[in-house]
Amino acid sequence: MGDWLSDLFSNPAITDRLPEATLETLLMVGWSALLAAVGGLPLGLWLHTTGPGGLRPRRSVNALLSLVVNVGRSLPFIILAIALIPFTRSVTGSALGWQAAVVPLTVGAIPFFARLVESAVREVPAGKVEAAQLAGASRAQILTGVLVRESLPGLVSGFTVTVIALVSYSAMAGAIGAGGLGFLAISYGYNRFQSDVMIVCVIVIVLLVQLLQTAGDLIARAVDHR
């Protein structure tokens, strides 16, 4: 046991690479989560607004948006990442490194989060929207002041689910050269048979997910006044 531990702390793959890989994972997940929120929130609201019973139902626009979102969600991430390589290269100048991984991660997470936004907003009772309409509120005012504000706990939960999905996607992205914990686990743990490296990476990922879920739940509860 003691030997095994001291082995861990003397393994350069862990002492040198682990902090760096963790940071890369955090950057990858952080940036793509931010961009997914910026893209997914309006897309989800647009889906809801144009849908049946929305603020401005538009059958054909809604059908098109829905199709795009479904296609985005049904592609396995690894295929999306590979298919996007030319696009990624044109955006970041390279298909390797954590910066490059942000592109497919964001593209995959936007439709994912958009659906969660749509279902959270759908939970807002129509009567609250009517109360706002009777107060003379415009569509934009209802969107932000009623739909988003009243569904905030659901939006926070949906965002937490999205960020956690991004952590797992980011590990997959590691397999195709994105760096981070996924890459470390595969290149040392799998390719070089250092299963202790693999285990340590998995532990760090589990801790990260645990931390994100706890934080997400805390925030959701703090904004929930129901």
Partner 1 sequence: MTDGIVLTGLRKVYPLRGGDVVALDGIDLRVPRGAIHGIVGESGAGKSTLVRCVTALERPTSGTVLVDGEAVDAAGERDLRRVRRRIGMVFQQVNLFDARTAAENIAYPLRIAKVPAARRRERVAELLDLVGLAGRGGSYPAQLSGGQKQRVGIARALAADPSVLLCDEPTSALDAATTRQILALIRDVRDRVGVTVLIITHEMSVVREVCDSVSLLDRGRIVEHGPIGEVVGRHGTRLARELIPLPVTADSTTVEAAFAVEHTGEVFRAIGGIDGVAVAAGTVETLGGVRVGRLRLDVAPDRRAAALAALRQAGLHVTVAPGEEAA
Stretch that binds partner 1, among 96-104, 137-145, 172-180, 185-193 (CB under 8 A): 137-145
Sole binder of partner 1 in the list 6, 70, 94, 141 (CB under 8 A): 141
* Residue 226 beta carbon to partner 1: minimum distance, rounded to whole angstroms: 5
State how far the alpha carbon of 87 is from the alpha carbons of 70, 101, 157, 175, 192, in Å. Answer: 20, 11, 31, 19, 32
Question: Which residue type occupies 210?
Answer: Q
Is residue 199 involved in binding partner 1 (CB under 8 A)?
no
Our finding on whether 219 is near partner 1 (CB under 8 A) is: no
Q: How big is the chain, counted in residues?
A: 226
Residue 20: partners with Cβ closer than 8 Å, 6 or more residues away: none
- By CB under 8 A, tell whether 226 contacts partner 1: yes
How far is Cα 143 from Cα 44, in angstroms, rounded to an integer?
12
Q: Does 27 bind partner 1 (CB under 8 A)?
A: no
E strand or H helix that includes residue 194: none
Rounded CA gap, 175 and 131, in Å? 51
Residue 146: CB minimum distance to partner 1, A: 7
134 binds partner 1 (CB under 8 A): yes
Our CB check for partner 1 shows the closer of 1 and 140 to be 140
The residues of the shown chain that bind partner 1, judged by CB under 8 A, are: 125, 127-128, 130-138, 141, 145-146, 149-150, 152, 223, 225-226
